[in-house]
């Protein structure tokens, strides 16, 4: 059974607080969709590949997609620099500008610090298939393992900044197109990954509210690493009264953990976001982790 609510989407944008499991959730989504017959690209954003280490791959993960050796999806790594290079060459068709940017050390340094330029290039790459520009992207869906919330927001805000700075010409037009794509929920779906703990939940709610306010989109929320005690609440409550003080203390601890979990579940649910839980998986095998994560995400 594929992930029905996401099966028509073209771009799945995964973000969340640092370390909460964004990359694993993105991998699980990619696997689930690819196994259901979709042509899927799992795209990492950044300078170095996480997935190469995760799966212990021999091949380099580069800007140009390559096949995963064992899974049915492709992998790519899009950095500001590789995306900008492509942007200048393919979209603006300015070879001289390209040379000016990349053959000159000073220009290159400037490009790297210019506000929004890397972001616009990366977002340009993410949305290029939809906008039908640049090298062909023969995928039904691109799963984007994006930055953590703050930087992800800067990525999504880049077109607006660019539109304000450059009203006319190709860059202004491209920015307008990108801005339309990221606001179109028929095309894009946002997935915010969190743990059921105070800081990630607070950050996720803030991020979700900003996505709603600035782009009019409502993300789904994935609560990751959720632990389900294989006993009922009543059984735990009873055990807290045990004469065995060690056992009673342990039961009180479990009870407190459960109460915290429920509190954060409630907090996330209050806003009406769709929430799906992925269990804490007891395995170090990347294939097992990805498969189990994908299975849990079918509920999305």
Ligand X SMILES: Nc1ncnc2c1ncn2[C@@H]1O[C@H](COP(=O)(O)OP(=O)(O)OP(=O)(O)O)[C@@H](O)[C@H]1O
Chain residues that interact with Mg ion, rule: CB under 5 A: 22-23
Single out the segment in contact with ligand X by CB under 6 A; choices: 29-37, 55-63, 73-81, 276-284. Answer: 276-284
Distance between first and last Cα of the chain? 11
Query: Residue 124's binding partner, choosing from ligand X, Mg ion, none, with beta-carbon cut-off 5 to 8 A by kind?
Result: none
Query: Residue 129's binding partner, choosing from Mg ion, ligand X, none, with beta-carbon cut-off 5 to 8 A by kind?
Result: none
Query: Residue 108's binding partner, choosing from ligand X, Mg ion, none, with beta-carbon cut-off 5 to 8 A by kind?
Result: none
Nearer to ligand X, 148 or 187 (CB): 148
Question: What single-letter DSSP state applies at residue 42?
Answer: E
Q: Are 149 and 203 in contact (CB under 8 A)?
A: yes
Nearer to Mg ion, 193 or 251 (CB): 193
Residue tagged 């794509």 (tokens): 181
Of 276, 278, 297, 300, which lies in the binding site for ligand X, with binding defined by CB under 6 A?
278
Site string for ligand X, 146-185 (x = CB under 6 A): --x-------------------------------------
Estimate the crossing angle of helix 286-297 against helix 22-35, to 10 degrees.
Answer: 70
Q: If binding is defined by CB under 6 A, does position 281 make contact with ligand X?
A: yes
Closest CA to 13 of 49, 35, 42: 42
Q: Which of helix, strand or coil describes residue 8? A: coil
Give CA separation, 244 vs 47, 165, 232, 247, 257, in Å.
Answer: 54, 69, 19, 5, 20
257-281: burial string, b at 16+ Cβ within 10 Å, e else: eeeebeebbeebeeeebebbbbeeb
Single out the segment in contact with ligand X by CB under 6 A; choices: 20-28, 94-102, 153-161, 237-245. Answer: 20-28
Shortest separation between residue 50's beta carbon and Mg ion, angstroms = 5
Closest CA to 239 of 230, 248, 231: 248
Q: If binding is defined by CB under 6 A, does position 18 make contact with ligand X?
A: yes
Single out the segment in contact with ligand X by CB under 6 A; choices: 36-44, 69-77, 124-132, 275-283. Answer: 275-283
Q: If binding is defined by CB under 6 A, does position 20 make contact with ligand X?
A: yes
Q: Are 145 and 18 in contact (CB under 8 A)?
A: no
Q: If binding is defined by CB under 6 A, does position 280 make contact with ligand X?
A: yes
Shortest separation between residue 26's beta carbon and ligand X, angstroms = 8
Shortest separation between residue 14's beta carbon and ligand X, angstroms = 8
Single out the segment in contact with ligand X by CB under 6 A; choices: 5-13, 16-24, 120-128, 266-274. Answer: 16-24
Residue tagged 């060459």 (tokens): 89
> Which residue stretches of the chain are H helix?
22-35, 51-54, 80-86, 95-102, 105-113, 117-126, 128-131, 149-165, 169-182, 198-215, 233-239, 245-270, 286-297
Query: Residue 115's binding partner, choosing from ligand X, Mg ion, none, with beta-carbon cut-off 5 to 8 A by kind?
Result: none
- Residue ranges binding ligand X (CB under 6 A): 16, 18-24, 148, 224-225, 278, 280-281, 289
């Amino acid at each position: 059974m594929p992930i029905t609510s996401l099966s028509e989407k073209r771009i799945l944008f995964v973000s969340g607080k640092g370390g909460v499991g964004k990359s694993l959730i993105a991998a699980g989504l990619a696997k689930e969709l690819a196994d259901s017959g979709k042509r899927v690209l799992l795209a990492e954003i950044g300078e170095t590949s996480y997935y190469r280490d995760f799966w212990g791959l021999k091949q380099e993960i580069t800007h140009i997609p390559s096949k995963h050796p064992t899974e049915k999806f492709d992998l790519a790594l899009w950095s500001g620099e590789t995306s900008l290079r492509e942007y200048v060459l393919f979209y603006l068709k300015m070879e001289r500008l390209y040379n000016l940017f990349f053959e000159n050390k000073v220009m290159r340094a400037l490009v790297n610090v210019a506000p929004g330029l890397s972001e616009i290039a990366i977002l340009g790459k993410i949305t290029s298939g939809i906008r039908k520009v640049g090298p062909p992207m023969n995928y039904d869906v691109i799963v984007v393992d994006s930055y953590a919330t703050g930087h992800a927001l800067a990525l999504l805000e880049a077109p607006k900044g660019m539109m304000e700075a450059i009203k006319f010409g190709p860059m202004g037009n491209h920015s307008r197109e990108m801005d339309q794509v990221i606001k179109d929920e028929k095309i894009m779906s946002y997935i915010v990954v969190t743990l059921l703990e105070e800081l990630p939940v607070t950050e996720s709610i803030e991020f979700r509210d900003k996505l709603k306010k600035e782009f009019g989109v409502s993300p789904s929320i994935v609560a990751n690493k959720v632990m389900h005690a294989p006993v009922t609440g009543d059984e735990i409550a009873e055990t807290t009264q045990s004469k065995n003080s060690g056992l009673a203390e342990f039961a009180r601890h479990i009870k407190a953990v459960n109460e915290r979990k429920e509190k954060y579940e409630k907090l996330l649910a209050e806003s009406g976001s769709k929430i799906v839980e992925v269990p804490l998986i007891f395995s170090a095998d990347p294939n097992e982790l990805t498969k189990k994560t994908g299975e849990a995400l079918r509920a999305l």
